[in-house]
Amino acid sequence: MYKPASAKKKQKLPLPDKLFYKIGEVSQRTGVESYVLRYWETEFPFLKPRKNKSGQRVYVKKDLDLILQLKKMLYQDRYTIEGARKKLSEGSLRVSEPLPASDADNSNSQSSVKAIELVKKRLRKMLTQLTS
C-alpha cells in the first residue's frame, strides 16, 4: 500500500560532531525531507546554508538547531510559515538588541580602561624582571 512521504517515519539519528553536514545527512538526522529544506531556504531568509566548491549545500550546527526549531514550530506547534518567520525574527531581534548609546559607550570605555591598566601593570612587572 502506498504511503505519502509525510506518513513515513524517518529514523532520527544523533548528530556527530562535525563542522559541516550535507543536505542528505541533515534530512536523515532531522526527519525533514531534502525538498522541504530547500523550500524553507526560500521562505526563511535566516536559513542560508553555504555551498561548497561543487555547489552542494553544507549546513553547520547552528543551521541544524534552527531546522529542528522550525520543524517543531511548523509541525508540532502548528505555526504557519509566516507566523514562524515572524516569531523567529522577533526572537533574534530581542537577543541582539543593542544597549542605548550612552550605556554601551560608558561600559565599553570603563572595561577598556581597566584592560589597559592591567596590561600596563603586567608590562611594568615584566620590565622590572628583565632589568633585574
Domains of the chain: 21-95 (1.10.1660.10)
Sign of the C-alpha dihedral, residues 97, 46, 69, 42? positive
Q: What band does 99 get if pLDDT is binned at 50, 70 and 90?
A: very low
How large is the C-alpha radius of gyration of the chain? Answer: 24
What's this model's pTM, rounded to 2 decimal places? 0.59
Sign of the C-alpha dihedral, residues 74, 77, 82, 86? negative
56 or 10, which is more confident: 56
Tell me the DSSP string of 19-71: S-EEHHHHHHHHT--HHHHHHHHHH-TT---EE-TTS-EEE-HHHHHHHHHHH
**What Cα–Cα distance (Å) separates residue 78 from each residue in 18, 74, 81?**
31, 5, 9
- Whether residue 112 is predicted with pLDDT greater than 60 in this model: the reply is yes
Could you read off the pLDDT of 46-97 as tens digits, one per residue?
999 999 999 999 999 999 999 999 999 999 999 999 999 999 888 754 433 4
| Percentage of the chain lying above the pLDDT 90 cut | 49
